[in-house]
Amino acid sequence: MPPADDQREPAVRVAPGADPDATVPDSEASVPDSDAQPAGRPKRPWRQLMMVVVVAIVLMLLIKAFVVQVYRIPSSSMEDTLLTGDRVLVNKLVYHARGIARGDIVVFSGDGSWGTTTGAPDPSPPGNPLLRVAYDVLADIGVYSTQTYYIKRVIGLPGDRVVCCVHGTVTVNGVPLDEKSYLFPGAKPSMRAFDVIVPSGRLWVMGDNRAISDDSRGHMRDGFPGMGTVPENEVCGRAFMIIWPLSQIGDLPIPATFQQAALHTGAPDR
């Protein structure tokens, strides 16, 4: 009987007449990749880094344009709710899901209402069409704009009758507001009497520091449209949180007085 080793399949076949010491490469052995990067060619991680940076910037701009934006409080007209220099987050999507509510703190453009704080017109956009397009894009995403923006609290919605003062309080559709939770300590609801029916598509807004706030009350005179009210379509969004300074961090909920059932029952249809 031949030895058992003779029954084994040779690991390498040798062709007849070939050099027995020469081996045929295993068909499963790896071969060099013709597309592989030649040795010594430098990697380019900066391209990946640049791509990450560009994507991050685009996402940031999209978020700023359509979702949320940071605004700085420029004056003391909203004290003690908001202090000069505070940074607030403004939700730009909320009014696509619901209407503007009484008690909301809103940021809005002076277009169609109060104009600028000085009374001078805002600078005109560039005359060059390309520059105008660039300006519009930058304004839409909140990076740069020549428009004047304000931040106030919504007191009256379209069709509301807002009156001051009835027994020392502001009333909306005959319902008195308890404003102690947000008015500047010791401030009166208003030193100026008014009785206004808010026009369609507009809002009656007031600052929480009533003694110094230049709000709807101060724009009831001739030269300002809508008895000092502001257009709903110029509202950029709702301020919902203070994020700076750290000592001021907190949300900005709608005060309880605006949740009165009688206030909503007596509200006109919008």
Both tokens assigned to 38: 């030649």
Decide if 177 contacts 164 (C-beta within 8 A).
Answer: no
Q: Does residue 77 have an active-site annotation?
A: yes
Catalytic residue among 75, 92, 109, 152: 152
Q: Does residue 152 have an active-site annotation?
A: yes
Straight-line distance from the first to the last Cα atom of the chain, in angstroms, rounded to the nearest whole number: 106
Residue 107 to residue 94: CA distance in whole angstroms: 13
**Cα torsion 252, 253, 254, 260: sign:** negative
Residues in Cβ contact with 266 at an 8 Å cutoff, skipping those fewer than 6 apart: 173, 174, 175
The number of beta carbons lying within 10 Å of the beta carbon of residue 177 is 22
Distances (CA, A) of 198 to 22, 32, 79, 190, 192: 99, 79, 25, 18, 17
**Dihedral over alpha carbons 196, 202, 204, 206 (to 10 degrees):** -150
**Cα torsion 126, 127, 128, 134: sign:** positive
Which residue type sits at 76? Answer: S
Catalytic residue among 75, 76, 77, 213: 77
Q: What DSSP character marks residue 10?
A: P
- β-partners of residue 90 are 69, 239
Q: Which residue numbers are catalytic?
A: 77, 152
